[in-house]
Amino acid sequence: MKRLFALTLLIVAGVSARAEAPVILVFGDSISAGYGLAHVEQGWVELLKTRLKAQGYGYQVVNASVSGETTAGGLARLPRALELHQPKIVVIELGGNDGLRALPIPQMRANLGRMIELAAAAGAKILLLGMRMPPNYGLEYTEQFQASFIDIAREKKIPLVPFLLNDIALSSKLLQDDDIHPNALGQPKLLENVWPQLTPLLRK
């Protein structure tokens, strides 16, 4: 009977520890949702879960990314996600669909800024993942788009991955047929682009 009671306590303690593990909330679009991949496990967010566990970081990762999401859609969803998951770290990967739709850059900047403010007010650390637009969108638009992420990160004093698709965007071997979304071979590179800026926010 005592042995059974002790075993029950261990199980309850284990469940409680997992329930209390701090949350990393990945809040993005199709790039982080794993669009077009044959298996969810191939996505960079799933690879992040594996690395965190292997290196002894006691985090759980919640992927709240939605394919096709804009910054406006993200801003509308974020308060509920913060309330539900109470994350310690929020990784914001939005803006790409604003750019592809040539939406006004000031609107995108305002939306990203507000999301950062909401996450910070909820007690979370924030990592912003930047994006760039292809040159056919025009020099002025592409430069302003790229600068937006740099300016917001500097203004809000948060870490930034300047270009999430660095060393991927121009490689046909790492992209799906749409030349936008990384394929399974490109997913580990996405994680490598994120990891150096994410690591300082983690605690063991």
Calpha distance 149→98 (Å, rounded):
13
- Predicted confidence at residue 203, as pLDDT, reads 87
Q: Is the pLDDT of residue 143 over 90?
A: yes
Q: How many domains does the chain have?
A: 1
List 29, 30, 32, 148, catalytic entry: 30
Residue 127 belongs to domain with CATH number: 3.40.50.1110
1 lies in a domain? no
192 lies in a domain? yes
90 lies in a domain? yes
State the average pLDDT over residues 158-171: 97
- Catalytic: 167? no
- Predicted confidence at residue 19, as pLDDT, reads 54
The structure tokens listed for 20 are 């209390």
126 lies in a domain? yes
3 lies in a domain? no
List 29, 65, 98, 181, catalytic entry: 181
State the average pLDDT over residues 136-148: 96
- Predicted confidence at residue 20, as pLDDT, reads 82
12 lies in a domain? no
List 16, 172, 177, 178, catalytic entry: 178
7 lies in a domain? no
- Catalytic: 30? yes
- Catalytic: 32? no
Q: What is the pLDDT of residues 78-108, one digit of tens each?
A: 999 999 999 999 999 999 999 999 999 999 9
5 lies in a domain? no
Average pLDDT over the chain, rounded to an integer: 92
Domain carrying residue 152: 23-201
- Predicted confidence at residue 128, as pLDDT, reads 99
This prediction has a pTM of: 0.90
